[in-house]
Structures are given as structure tokens and as C-alpha cells.
Amino acid sequence: MNLAQQMPLPNRQLPNLQAAARGLYIDGVWRPAQNGREIDVIDPSTGTVLATVPDATIEDARASVDAASVAAPAWSATSPRKRSEILRRCFELMTERAEELATLISMENGKALRDARSEVSYAAEFFRWNAEEAVRITGEFGIAPSGANRIIVDYQPIGICLLITPWNFPAAMATRKIAPALAAGCTVILKPASETPLTAYALASIYEEAGVPPGVINVLTTTEPAPFSAAVLADPRVRKLSFTGSTGVGRLLLAEAAKHVVSCSMELGGNAPFIVFDDADLDAAIDGAMVAKMRNAGEACTAANRLYVQSGIYNAFAEAITKRMEALNVGAGIDPLTECGPMITQKAVEKIDRLVNDAKGRGARVLCGGESPIRTGFFYPPTVLADVPADADMAHEEIFGPVAPLYRFETEDEAIIQANDTEYGLAAYVYTRDIARGLRVSSRLEAGMIALNRGLVSDPAAPFGGVKQSGLGREGGQHHGIAEFMEAKYIAASF
């Protein structure tokens, strides 16, 4: 593990953090919370306060619903072409300000600047993609089998949407929901994570500049998400909940939404297997593993959580990935030398440490890392564990950190059984030169997304989502993402 230099960093212009946190964004106006309370935004690299943002109340939440309701009729009546042009302008502005946004993400989230730049590019692409799809929302026309009438299906905006996003991708998780919702003609209330709100507010300024009318997008942060969400979902004008986060919180939100029969899209936890067969290209598999495991320092729901390697290639794989992990530069996210930044909080570090110690106690061998360092900030070293037993806690929990646990397998069936032995089913990775085997294994894996000979699975043009306890619905794709924010209206017509 190499330590990248710490701040201050010379010759680098940093964003005006407090300017990014002008207030809650409701009805096109920046305002304080009604109770005047604020939330400290912490720099994970140092543990110090970067800025403060308002801590929204239930009254603020209700005000955002009012604003979204007033704006809804005009926005849904706005022509698809006009909505498309506004979304395209959001993409252009995000692209123009990519470096500033990436730096902001690195500062509040801690992720390496290279990862933050990739996130901004990915996040902006949702606006370009949905700008192109907004003008292609069409209905259906046919004749009933009996011949008695015509069947007309019209697609209409579902209504006001509550969007709840996590801290690990503060730009992309927001735009992945906002862009299709706006393309469909919906108005939205975004509640970003209180750990990383500055990016959400900076993006709100971009939406405003791009021409999004007041009330169409509202952004509020709060330290009391449960009563906030309950108040919004209880309003009969709110018809959609889209959430990205843990399965545990998702279950609670589903129960709350069920009280009011609110449509839900849920992108929840993951426990992704990364399967490497003996015939795999070793170099390609190592490259893919580093992307799948270390993107955002492992703080991703799609991160490779369990690395299953066939016995014939196991030792070579273990040696190669250990060298790559040991060589990573660890440091502050905004340092250009950093390849692995800090975790989001000290609590996250403690969870990783617990999982690693449990695995070691059950017989896993530490090939590198494995000890929480004594230093300022919320850091954990890149770690490789060999021969992790199947009953280790990390085999069943998301690690959400820079730890690569290796499991040995012998046969294809054994790998599939172990990979599917989890309540989650978001992503999975398979490496093999045998395309028939790759497709065969992919069809048997219980996951919503499969990366075959690739370490990156996410794409705005493809449907993102999982099965089992990893969620409901899909985001992105040719029509899947927008469809989540629309209702089909059937008209039986005779003429």
C-alpha cells in the first residue's frame, strides 16, 4: 500500500463549498430549513467539516410536495421536444463543468478523483440518453381479438415522484432517476444522502440554468429521513417512490409506501460473485477484478464481493491481484495520485474491520492489508484474503470496502451453487474464454445483471436492477427507465 500525499494540494482551484450549499431547493428558490437547523458535511479524508447544509423538516417536505404539484400540469403538458432540449442542456452543462463537479464529489465522498471524473461522465450521460428517449415515448393502437373495438394504450406521467439516493454515487444515482422522470413528464422531490449533499445542490443549480422550471425538481436534505419520507408518501398527490440504498431500509420504505399504494422502484443491496474459470485470460480477469472490486474503493452495490477462482488458476490469480492491490496509492480523494480514497465514515471502517477479523478468525489468510491503519481520516487499506471459508460473515454481507476475499472452487456447478447462495441478486461477473460456458453460466446465475469477461456492467443504455432481495424494477435502458415513471391508460374505442 502506497500513501499518496495529503492536502493541502498546490495549484488546484477548489470549488466554493458553501456556495454549493445555498439552502434547500424548493420551487426554484434557495431557502433555509424552517427550524433553522443545519447538517455538517464531513471530509472523509480528514474528519473535518467541509460545509453545512439545511436540515429539512416535515413542513419543508410538505412545501416541496406543494411546489411539485403546482408545477406538474405545465411540465406534463410541455412538448416532448422541449423537455428533450432541457435534458440535453443539463448534459452539456454537466460536461462543461465536469472537473468542478468531480472535485466536489471527491471532497465530500472521498473517492479518488479518477473515479469521480468517471462518475460525472456516467451521470451526465443519463441526461443525454433520456433526452433522446423523451421524444420516442409512443402509445399503442390495435384491434380487439373479437373485432368489437379498437385498443388504444396511452402512456402518461405517473405523477409526483419521491427520489431517495445514497452517498456512494452522489451525482449518478440522482441523474439516473431525475432524467427519466423528467423525460416522462413527472415532477420530483430528491432527498440525497446527508453525507454527500453538496453534489446534489450543485446539480440543482445546473438544472435551473438549463431551463428546468421552478417546482419540477426540488432538493432537500434531512437527518430524519423516516418521518420525512413518511410525510411525503402520505400525500395522495405523490404516486412514485424510487429508492437506491440498503435492503434493510428498502424494506421499511416498501412498507410505508404500501400504506398508500404508491408505486415503487427499488435498487437495493448486492453481494456480487466474480467467477474466474481455469481457461480465463488471467491478465484480463485481474484487470476486470480491479475494476469490479476497487471502483469507488469498493463502495458500490455492484462491487465484486466474493471472488470465486477455479483451483487450476487460483494461486496465480491470488498472487497477481495481491501485487495490484499492494501497489495502489491510498490518500485523499482530490489528490491526483490517489487510487483508493477513504471510506465514507468511521462506522464504515469499523464494519469492514469486523468482517475482516471474522474471516481471519475462521481461517482466512491475509495476503495484503487486513489491518485498520492509525491515521487521520476514514481509511482502510486495500486487502486480499485467501481461502475465505463459506461461513464467514463477508460471504453473506456487503463488504462495501477495498477487500477482495478469494474462494476456491473445482467445478462449474459448484461455482454456480456458491454464487447463488445469497439473498441478493444484483450483479455477477464471469471470466472464461469458452463463450458457450459463459452464456450457460450467465443464464444460471440469479442476478439482474451479468458482466461476461468485463469488470464494468453499468451503462445508461442498459436496464440496471436486481432480483431477489436486490430490488424491484429497472433504471436505464431503451424504455425500461422511463417506463418506471409512466402509467399505461387503456382506451376501448368504437368508431
Q: Which CA distances in Å does 94 have to 100, 122, 202?
A: 9, 10, 10
Per the document, the length of the chain is 495
Please check whether residue 149 is in contact with residue 493, taking contact to mean a CB–CB distance below 8 angstroms: yes
Based on its alpha-carbon atoms, the radius of gyration of the chain, rounded to whole angstroms, reads 23
- Give a three-class secondary structure readout of the chain: CEECCCCCCCCCCCCCCCHHHCCEEECCEEECCCCCCEEEEECCCCCCEEEEEECCCHHHHHHHHHHHHHHHHHHHHCCHHHHHHHHHHHHHHHHHCHHHHHHHHHHHHCCCHHHHHHHHHHHHHHHHHHHHHHCCCCCEEEECCCCCCEEEEEEEECCEEEEECCCCCCCHHHHHHHHHHHHHCCCEEEECCCCCCHHHHHHHHHHHHHCCCCCCEEECCCCCHHHHHHHHHHCCCEEEEEEECCHHHHHHHHHHHHCCCCEEEEECCCCEEEEECCCCCHHHHHHHHHHHHHHHHHCCCCCEEEEEEEHHHHHHHHHHHHHHHHCCEECCCCCCCCCECCCCCHHHHHHHHHHHHHHHHCCCEEEECCCCCCCCCCCCCCEEEECCCCCCHHHCCCCCCCEEEEEEECCHHHHHHHHHCCCCCCEEEEECCCHHHHHHHHHHCCCCEEEECCCCCCCCCCCECCCHHHEECCECCCCHHHHCCEEEEEEEECC
Query: Which three cell numbers mark 398?
Result: 456487503
Contact between 419 and 445 under an 8 Å Cβ cutoff? The reply is yes
Buried b vs exposed e over 415-425: b needs ≥16 C-beta within 10 Å?
bbebbeebebb
Nearest partner of 86 among 75, 71, 96, judged by Cα: 75
* Residues 101, 107, 113: CA angle, nearest 5 degrees: 65
Catalytic residue among 161, 186, 301, 368: 301
* Per-residue pLDDT tens digits for 105-154: 999 999 999 999 999 999 999 999 999 999 999 999 999 999 999 999 99
User: For residues 197 and 199, what is the distance between their CA atoms, to the nearest angstrom?
Assistant: 6
Nearest in space to 342 (alpha carbons), one of 321, 313, 372: 372
Phi/psi class of residue 370: alpha, beta or left (left: φ > 0; alpha: ψ in -120 to 50)?
A: left
List of the chain residues with pLDDT < 70 = 1-13, 18-21
pLDDT of 11: 47
pLDDT value of position 10: 40
Computed over every residue of the chain, the mean pLDDT equals 95
pLDDT of 8? 45
pTM: 0.95
Q: How many CB atoms lie within 10 A of CB 226?
A: 12
Grid coordinates standing for 489?
A: 391508460
* Rounded-to-integer distance, Cα 238 and Cα 230, Å: 11
Nearest of 208, 232, 211, 210 to residue 220 by alpha carbon: 232
List 133, 256, 267, 339, catalytic entry: 267
Annotated catalytic residue 161? no
Does residue 267 carry a catalytic annotation? yes
Instruction: Report angle CA 161, 203, 195 to the nearest 5 degrees.
Output: 80
* All cell numbers assigned to 345: 465514515
